[in-house]
């Protein structure tokens, strides 16, 4: 197996390059997240730097930067881009966005998520083009970025994409097409010092069925450690997505996202390949007794 293009060492070098462009010191860097993006806090500079670990999804980073400016204009319940530097920034083919750091505070919960999503979904569509919800297209790009994917597994994933794509297209045709965060879960919430709870991570933000933002927590309740988050989200938002006719397609799309999220990292992050295999095999077998581990956990291992 190769060492991979998206190793922790490479991402740390990229952080140094981005920090140099900003004219800030990165010696106090703290890893916040290491999965599809490498996310670092620089407390002294008061910023968070998000660096993509993909060469195929750069349009998502550019979209996130543009959304960040618009969010400030409409006072959306979101984090804010840092400063006036034109974003995204680039270092050796990797793109990064830079955001204001929110100091640690009491952790938001699923009740907060429901309330924030209601506010987020009430926003108008921005006056610039946003992509439509396209979990299959995104999955195919992640598969193309994979360095250590076995041929049989690649074929299984692509067959899954082919089957799901017309079902997603039909659901989009039937929906009004609201602003969708695209990866709505408690881990993408932060509480500001003034108490306002805000969303972060806009790589997947798009136009699509609002149920997309309720399906992530509902599907996670099937495969990850059992919590009461789905019930609390449904209560605070006022809608239980698992009773919606669209749920089977939304669940299938979310499970595809859960599985392919780690494939670009299989060559560079120990443990991800084994977790990917577990996820793929358990979905194909319908084995909901399998217990998954977040890919980000492996990125934290030394």
Tens of pLDDT, residues 4-40: 678 889 999 999 999 999 999 999 999 998 877 899 9
Same domain, 93 and 126: no
Answer left, alpha or beta for residue 46, where phi above 0 means left and psi between -120 and 50 means alpha.
left
pLDDT of res. 24? 97
pLDDT of res. 239? 97
Cα–Cα distance, 156 to 276 (Å, whole number)? 13
How many domains would you assign to the chain? 2
Tens digit of each residue's pLDDT (9 = 90 or more) over 233-258: 999 999 999 999 999 999 999 999 99
Cα–Cα distance, 249 to 252 (Å, whole number)? 5
Same domain, 89 and 148: no
Using only C-alpha atoms, what is the Rg of the chain? 19
pLDDT of res. 135? 97
Same domain, 126 and 246: yes
Answer left, alpha or beta for residue 238, where phi above 0 means left and psi between -120 and 50 means alpha.
left
Average pLDDT over residues 60-89: 94
**Residue percentage of the chain with pLDDT more than 90:** 78
Tens digit of each residue's pLDDT (9 = 90 or more) over 204-227: 999 999 999 999 999 999 999 878
pLDDT band at 300 (very low <50, low <70, confident <90, very high): low
Average pLDDT over residues 64-71: 95
The range of the structural domain enclosing residue 188 comes to: 110-299
Of the candidates 13, 137, 126, the one whose C-alpha atom is nearest the C-alpha of residue 64 is 126
Query: Is the model's pLDDT at 288 over the cut of 50?
Result: yes
Query: Is the model's pLDDT at 299 over the cut of 90?
Result: no
Residue 87, CB half-sphere, CA atoms under 13 Å: how many? Answer: 24
More confident call, 174 vs 200: 200
pLDDT of res. 1? 35
Average pLDDT over residues 282-292: 96
**CATH value at residue 80:** 3.30.200.20
Domain boundary among 72, 100, 128: 100
Same domain, 264 and 115: yes
pLDDT band at 54 (very low <50, low <70, confident <90, very high): confident
Same domain, 245 and 293: yes
Average pLDDT over residues 256-276: 91
- Using DSSP's 3-state secondary structure scheme, residue 53 falls into coil
**CATH value at residue 158:** 3.90.1200.10
Query: Is the model's pLDDT at 42 over the cut of 90?
Result: yes
Mean pLDDT of the chain: 92
Residue 268, CB half-sphere, CA atoms under 13 Å: how many? Answer: 24
Edge-to-edge strand ranges of the sheet holding 94-100? 30-34, 37-42, 47-52, 94-100, 89-91
Same domain, 118 and 259: yes
> Chain-centre distance of CA 129, in angstroms?
20
Cα–Cα distance, 278 to 290 (Å, whole number)? 8
Same domain, 242 and 118: yes
pLDDT of res. 134? 96
């Amino acid at each position: 197996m190769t060492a991979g293009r998206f190793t922790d060492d490479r991402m740390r070098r990229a952080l140094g390059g981005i920090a140099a462009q900003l004219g800030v010191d990165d010696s106090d860097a703290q890893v916040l997240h290491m999965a599809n993006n490498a996310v670092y806090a620089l407390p002294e500079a008061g910023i968070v730097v998000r660096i993509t670990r993909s060469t195929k999804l750069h349009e998502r980073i550019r979209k996130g930067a543009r959304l960040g400016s618009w969010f400030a204009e409409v006072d959306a319940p979101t984090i804010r881009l840092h400063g006036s530097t034109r974003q995204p920034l680039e270092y050796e083919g990797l793109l990064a966005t830079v955001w204001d750091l929110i100091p640690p505070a009491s952790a938001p919960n699923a009740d907060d998520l429901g309330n924030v999503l209601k506010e987020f979904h009430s926003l108008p569509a921005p006056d610039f083009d946003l992509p439509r919800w396209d979990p299959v297209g995104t999955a195919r790009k992640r598969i193309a970025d994979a360095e250590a994917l076995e041929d049989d597994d690649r074929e299984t994933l692509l067959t899954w994409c082919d089957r799901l794509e017309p079902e997603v297209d039909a659901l989009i045709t039937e929906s009004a097409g609201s602003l969708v965060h695209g990866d709505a879960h408690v881990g993408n919430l932060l509480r500001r010092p003034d108490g306002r709870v805000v969303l972060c991570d806009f790589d997947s933000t798009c136009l699509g069925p609002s149920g997309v933002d309720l399906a992530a927590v509902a599907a996670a309740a099937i495969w990850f450690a059992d919590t009461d988050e789905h019930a609390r989200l449904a209560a605070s938002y006022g809608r239980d997505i698992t009773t919606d006719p669209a749920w089977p397609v939304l669940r299938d799309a979310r499970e595809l996202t859960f599985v392919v999220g780690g494939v670009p990292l299989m060559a560079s992050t120990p443990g991800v390949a084994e977790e990917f295999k577990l996820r793929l095999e358990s979905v194909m077998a319908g084995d909901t007794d399998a217990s998954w581990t977040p890919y980000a956990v492996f990125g934290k291992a030394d």
